[in-house]
Chains A and B, each alone.
Chain A
Amino acid sequence: MNAKRTDLLATILIDLIVASVVGILFFLLAYILTAGLPHVSWSFLTGATDAFSGAGGIGVQLFNSFYLLVLTMLISVPISLGAGIYLAEYAKDNWRTSLIRSAIEVLSSLPSVVVGLFGFLLFVVKFKIGFSVISGAIALTFFNLPLLTRNIEESLSAVSRSQREAGLSLGLSKWKTEIGIILPVALPGIVTGIVLSAGRVFGEAAALIYTAGQSAPVTNFADWNPMDAASPLNPLRPAETLAVHIWKVNTEGLASNAAALSAAASAVLIIAVLLFNLGARLLGTYLYRRVTASK
Chain B
Amino acid sequence: MEQTNFQLKKQDAQSDEWEAQLHHATKATREDWIGRGISYFCIGIIILVVASMLWFITSKGIATFTQNHVSLWKFLSGTNWAPDQGQTGALPMILGSFAVTFAAAIVATPFAVGTAIFMTEISPNKGRKFLQPVIELLVGIPSVVYGFIGLAVIVPFMRHLVGGSGFGIISATFVLFVMVLPTITSMTVDSLRAVPRFYKEASLALGATRWQTVSRVILRSATSGILTAIIFGMARAFGEALAVQMVIGNAAIMPKNLISPASTLTSQLTTGIGDTIDGTLPNNALWSLALILLLMSLVFNALVRIIAKRGQLKHER
- Give A178's nearest chain B residue, CB to CB: B35
- Contact partner of A7 (CB less than 8 A), chosen from B152, B211, B300, is B211
Q: Looking at the complex, which of B82-90, B142-150, B158-166 is the stretch in contact with chain A? A: B142-150
Which residues from B are CB-within-8-Å of A246?
Answer: 144-145, 147-148
Q: Is B209 an interface residue (CB 8 A)?
A: yes
In the docked arrangement, what's the CA distance between A22 and B270, Å? Answer: 32
Q: Say whether B36 contacts A90, CB under 8 Å.
A: yes
- Whether A13 sits at the interface, judged by CB under 8 Å, is yes
Q: Which of B42, B115, B210 has the most CB of A within 10 A?
A: B42
Name the A residues within 8 Å of B118 (CB-CB): 14-15, 17-18
Alpha-carbon separation in the docked complex, A159 to B232 (Å): 28
Hey, which chain B residues are within 8 Å of A174, CB to CB? 32, 35-36
List residues of chain A with CB within 8 A of the CB of B169: none
CB of A251 to closest CB in B, whole Å: 6
Interface residues in A208-267 by Cβ distance below 8 A to B read 209-210, 243-244, 246-247, 250-251, 259, 262-263, 266
- CB of B28 within 8 A of CB of A171, answer yes
Query: When each residue 208-221 of chain B gets 1 if its CB lies under 8 Å from chain A and 0 otherwise, what string results?
Result: 11111011000000
Q: Verify if A283 is at the interface (C-beta below 8 Å from B).
A: no
A111 close to B142 (CB less than 8 A): no
- Whole-angstrom distance between the alpha carbons of A14 and B215 in the complex? 12
- Closest chain-B Cβ to A18's Cβ sits at a distance in Å of 5
For the complex, is B46 an interface residue (Cβ under 8 Å from A)? Answer: yes
- Inter-chain CA distance A83–B136, complex, in Å, is 26
Residues of A within 8 A of B124 (CB): none
- Stretch in B4-12, B14-22, B49-57, B66-74 with 4+ CB within 8 Å of A: B49-57
> Once the chains bind, are B56 and A247 in contact (CB under 8 Å)?
no
B196 interfacial contact with A, CB 8 Å: no
**Docked complex Cα distance between A20 and B134 (Å):** 12
Would you call B290 an interface residue if the criterion is a C-beta within 8 Å of the partner chain's C-beta atoms? yes
At the interface, yes or no: B227 with Cβ under 8 Å from chain A? no
Is A286's beta carbon under 8 Å from chain B?
A: no
Q: Are B145 and A107 in contact (CB under 8 A)?
A: no
Q: Is A49 positioned at the interface, with any CB of B under 8 Å from its CB?
A: no
CA distance A38 to B266 in the complex (A): 33
User: A residues 66-95 with Cβ under 8 Å of B?
Assistant: 78-83, 85-87, 89-90
Is A291 at the interface (CB under 8 A from chain B)? no
Residue of B nearest to A113 (CB): B241
A282 contacts chain B at the CB level, 8 A cutoff: no
| Known A106-B50, A111-B297, A210-B274; contact A31-B145, beta-carbon cutoff 8 A | no
Contact between chains at B53 and A28 (CB < 8 Å)? no
| Contact assessment for A82 and B41 in the assembled complex, using a CB-CB cutoff below 8 Å | yes
Do A22 and B274 have beta carbons less than 8 Å apart? no
Known contacts A7-B209, A146-B46, A277-B140; A17 and B110 CB within 8 A of each other: yes
Task: State the CA gap A209–B143 with chains docked (Å).
Answer: 13
Contact A114 B147 (CB under 8 A): no
> Which residues of A have CB within 8 Å of B246?
247, 250-251
The answer, among B35, B181, B266, B278, for a CB contact under 8 Å with A175, is B35
Interface string of B238-252 (1 = CB under 8 A from A): 111110011000000
Chain B residues in 8 Å Cβ range of A149:
46
A11 at the A/B interface (Cβ < 8 Å)?
Answer: yes
**B298 interface residue (CB < 8 Å to A):** yes
A269 in the interface, Cβ–Cβ < 8 Å?
yes
What is the CB-to-nearest-CB distance from B130 to chain A, in angstroms, rounded to a whole number?
A: 8
> Is B117 interfacial (CB-CB < 8 Å)?
yes
Interface size on B, residues (CB 8 A): 82
Does B222 interact with chain A (Cβ within 8 Å)? Answer: no
A197–B149 Cα distance when bound, in Å, is 23
Q: Does B200 contact A (CB under 8 A)?
A: no
Closest A residue, CB atoms, query B139:
A200
> B145 CB to closest chain A CB, in angstroms?
5
B301 within 8 A of A: yes
* Interface contact A17-B111, CB-CB below 8 Å: yes
Give chain B nearest CB distance to A253 CB in angstroms.
12
Given contact pairs A25-B134, A250-B148, A18 touches B211 in the complex (Cβ within 8 A): no
CB of A51 within 8 A of chain B?
A: no
A4 within 8 A of B: yes
When the two chains form their complex, are residues A206 and B143 in contact, meaning their CB atoms are under 8 A apart?
yes
Residue B29 CB within 8 A of the other chain? yes
CB distance from A92 to the nearest CB of B (A): 12
- Residues of B near A175 (CB, < 8 A) are 31-32, 34-36
Interface string of B33-48 (1 = CB under 8 A from A): 0111011111101110
Write the nearest CB–CB distance from A273 to chain B, whole angstroms: 5
Q: How far apart are the CA atoms of A175 and B28 in the complex, in Å?
A: 9
B contact residues vs A (CB 8 Å cutoff): 28-29, 31-32, 34-36, 38-43, 45-47, 49-54, 56-57, 60, 110-111, 114-115, 117-118, 122, 130-131, 134, 136-138, 140-145, 147-149, 151-153, 178, 181, 185, 208-212, 214-215, 235, 238-242, 245-246, 266, 269-270, 273-274, 278, 287, 290, 293-294, 297-298, 300-301
- Known A7-B209, A111-B241, A145-B46; further 11 A-B contacts with Cβ < 8 A: A82-B38, A110-B239, A142-B49, A145-B49, A149-B46, A204-B142, A247-B242, A247-B246, A251-B246, A274-B137, A274-B140
Q: Can you pick out 8 interface pairs between chain A and chain B where the beta carbons lie within 8 Å of each other?
A: A6-B209, A21-B115, A22-B134, A109-B297, A243-B144, A266-B148, A276-B140, A277-B137
Which 9 pairs of residues, A with B, have the shortest CB-CB distance? A111-B239, A175-B35, A203-B142, A82-B42, A17-B114, A86-B39, A113-B241, A7-B209, A173-B28
